Each structure stands twice: as structure tokens, then as C-alpha cells.
Amino acid sequence: MGVGRVLSVGVALLGLGSVTVPAYAAVAEAHPSVVGTSAVSYTPQVVSTTAVPKPHVDAIANLGDDADTTFAGGLFDTVSQGTRSYPRSNLVSFDGATGAVSTTFDTAIGGQVWALATDVATNSVYVGGAFKTVDGATRSALVKLNATTGARDAAFNPPFTGGQVNDLEIVTIAGVKRLVVGGSSGRKLMSLNPASGRDDGYFKNVISDPLPGAWGGVSVYGVAIDPSGTHLVATGNFLKVDGAARSKFFMVDLGAYSASLSSWYYPGFAKPCATDAPRRIANLQGLDWSPDGLAFTVAATGQIPAERPADIWYHRLGVRNKPNTSVCDAVGRFKLSDPTKPVWINYTGGDSVWSVSDTGKAVYVAGHFKWLDNPDGYASLGVGDKTSGAPAASRRGIGAIDPVTGLANSWNPGLTGTRSGGKALVPDAGGLWIGNDATRFNGQVRYGLAYAPLP
């Protein structure tokens, strides 16, 4: 959720020939190995101030393939780089190779930034979130800016005046470039003309019926498009899509002219978690596709009830696991070819996972958890699997899971000072960008933003 850069791939749709479809940003980079546990020293950091005492970074994007221009958004009013501090309202542009903060890009976003997407062809950055103003002028939830100067594009006028944007993607289907917007506005999942902001009507899906007791109204939380550009998956606070039961998750097939609801649905997604917190009832959060497009992984909050062990997926049971196990306070992997069961589920034992990024060699996850490999953990206790004696893996706020085994690998930098935890994991050709509310990454002072390069 809240990522930016995309790559293009060609697919054949309905006999129409080659259709260029950019892949979801988080699957654009297939890494040859796991990234290192030491972060570079030059990245900007958010600064705790009287006005914003607990700042955080929740969205990151690179401008096209140009890693020299990177954007970070979230909730902050000051950033520092080296010995200098810069006033920046919830959005900052900087050189990704040196960390130097842009002095020409200084746009004040009047509220939380949740999502970023960039378009190198027009030198633009799209900013989505829960804001009401841009540089003091009224502009709600979504704005298009010049990526160099930060000037607002006055020609871009999306069809809503309120609500919240949670995720953004730039795609091109059948030669038509689209800005895919997920949030609480309009039809919740929309395709906008990137130049004018008008709804082009590609997504006609009716997303309805919020979960009872859940915070807010009907919303889409996260979206991810597979590398072939034929499927989109989404999470959020809803019970139905196009009148069909689709609690908290749905998949649509991306045709040449419109998107249609897919029959793919894992029944375990509909099971409630133990939490009664309104912000956790709609538990499914960030998601990402594997680089080969054969599977996707979804992150979740919520809590597995201690009295419902049958809802837990155990690695030791493999195919003997009961059907429809729950993804609560966990990360679950699912095959596109089989909606009846998970490939694996990795539980934290009582703490939320917000974001996930699959680079082929590792499935990186971030949140405010203390453990992975913890199916019998409860209330943040590191129990592991009591029957097999397999211990839980200590992982503070961030970790990496082997995509084949579903167990935590040895990557363990650890975060210090997390509260809600990280919501931005964005790989590029050289490593992994990490946005969160932590003060340190592997003991290094990296408040809010870190970059872990490949070895």
C-alpha cells in the first residue's frame, strides 16, 4: 500500500494483440538475494516536533526508473538530512542516491499522505491521503504535482471533494493509461484519466456493505495488480462486490475495456478475528503478487481467538490443515490457481502486519509485531508451535519470510521505537525502501525512513 514505480509488460487480451500493462510497483523488482541488514547513512529522517511529536512515513515512490528522485509521504512537518533541517508538510522529495532534499519541491500537503504514484512521461507525482488542502488551497484526498517544482496541476480534477485515498497505481490497458485509485471516495475503486482526473468508467464494480462494527464506511484499503496485468486484488471494509459475497477481499479480471468480478475467493477471509477494535475488524490490509504472478500474499491485523485453534494454519500439518483457516495478525500466501486453501500462513501471535513486499527471494513484512512463526502465540507472547516444539522467531516490527517454506528467514535487522509500525515497503533495483514510525533500523538512527541495499 502506498507505493509508486511501475514497469510495463506485454500481454495478450481477448485476441486483441499486445497490450501494455505496467505491473504493480511492489512486484516490479525481482531481487537476486535478500537485502542486507545495514541501511545507508544518507537518507532523510523525519523529526519529532511540538506540532507532530510522533511523525511517520507511510508512502514511498521513485520517479520512473530514476532512483535519483524519490518521494516520501506520511505525517510530519520537518525532515533532516545530514546537519540540516527542512520544513516539509507531509511530503518530501529527495535524491535517492545521495539523500539530498530537493529545495525546489516544497509542497505543503494539509494532512496525512497514504499513497504515492509517479509518471515519468509527464514528470508527475500523484499524492493521495486524508488531506483537505494543498499549499493552503482547498484540494481533498488526491492531487497531481509537477515532480520537479511541486506545482499543482490545475487541469487534474478528480470527481470527489472528500473522503480518503489509500492506494494509487498507474497502469496502461489496451493503450489507455489509467490512474487506479482505491479508497473511500466514489465507487471506492476507480480508474481516472491521469491528465484530467475524470473517471473513465473502467471499474464499474459496486463495492458495498461495511462490516458491522468496523471503523468508517465502505473503503478499499489496498490494491495490487499482477505482473501480467490480468488480475487486480483488493482488500478493505466491505461485505459485497457486485452483489456477491466478498467479505474484506475481492479479485477482478482486467479486460480490454472493463474489469469483471472474478470467482476467486478464499472462504477463510470471511471469518472474523477476535478483535472488537473498530479499526481492526476489517483485518486484511496490504498485499502483493509474487514476481511470477502465480501467487499473492496478504498482510492482516486482528487476533486469532485462543479458543479457536481450528482456525489456525500450522506448518507441520501441511495438507492436513483444516480448510478455511484464518488470516488474523498474520501473513498469508495464496495461489492464483487454488482459492480453496492457503500456500502458507505465518502468524505473529497478537500484533498487526500492515504491509508486504515480495521480491522472489523474500516476502518482506512490516507492522508492530514482535514475532513471526508464532501460531500458538497470543497477546504478543512468543510461543511458536507448542505441539512440534518449533520456537517463535523474534522479529521486531519487520521481517522476511521464505516464500517457499512460509517460515521466517534469518534476515532480522529489527526496528526500535515502533508504535503502529511500518506501512511502506518498496523495492527497487538496488534494495528495499522502508517507511515507518521507528526511530532506529538495526540500531542505526533512521527515523521514519531507511534504505537497505542488496549485498
pLDDT at position 66, please? Answer: 57
pLDDT at position 25, please? Answer: 33
pLDDT tops 60 at residue 26: no
pLDDT at position 7, please? Answer: 32
pLDDT at position 379, please? Answer: 86
pLDDT tops 80 at residue 220: yes
CATH, range 7-453? 2.130.10.10
Residue 252, C-alpha cell as written in the block: 477482478
Could you tell me which of 330, 329, 318, 405 has the C-alpha nearest to residue 361? 405
% of the chain exceeding 70 in pLDDT? 93
Sort residue 150 into left (φ over 0), alpha (ψ -120 to 50) or beta: left
pLDDT bin (cut points 50, 70, 90) of residue 305 is confident
Q: Residue 49 in contact with residue 415, Cβ under 8 Å?
A: no
How far is residue 242 from each of residues 55, 61, 101, measured CA to CA in Å?
39, 32, 45
Instruction: Assign 3-class secondary structure to 386-441.
Output: CCCCECCEECCCEEEECCCCCCECCCCCCEECCCCCCCEEEEECCEEEEECCCCEE
Question: How do strand 284-289 and strand 259-261 relate by DSSP bridges?
Answer: unpaired
pLDDT tops 90 at residue 306: no
pLDDT tops 90 at residue 217: yes
Residues 6+ apart with CB under 8 A from 113: 58, 59, 73, 74, 75, 90, 91, 127, 128, 129, 131
Can you count the helices (H) and strands (E) in the chain? 0, 37
H/E stretch holding 59 reads: strand 56-63
pLDDT bin (cut points 50, 70, 90) of residue 24 is very low
- In the predicted model, what is the mean pLDDT of residues 41-45? 97
Q: What is the pLDDT of residues 318-362, one digit of tens each?
A: 999 999 999 999 999 999 999 999 999 999 998 999 999 999 999
Q: What is the pLDDT of residues 59-75, one digit of tens each?
A: 999 997 656 899 999 99
pLDDT tops 70 at residue 16: no
- In the predicted model, what is the mean pLDDT of residues 21-31? 49
Count of Cβ atoms closer than 10 Å to residue 42 Cβ = 15
pLDDT bin (cut points 50, 70, 90) of residue 8 is very low
More confident residue, 203 or 6: 203
Q: What is the pLDDT of residues 243-267, one digit of tens each?
A: 999 999 999 999 999 999 999 999 9
Q: What is the pTM of this model?
A: 0.93
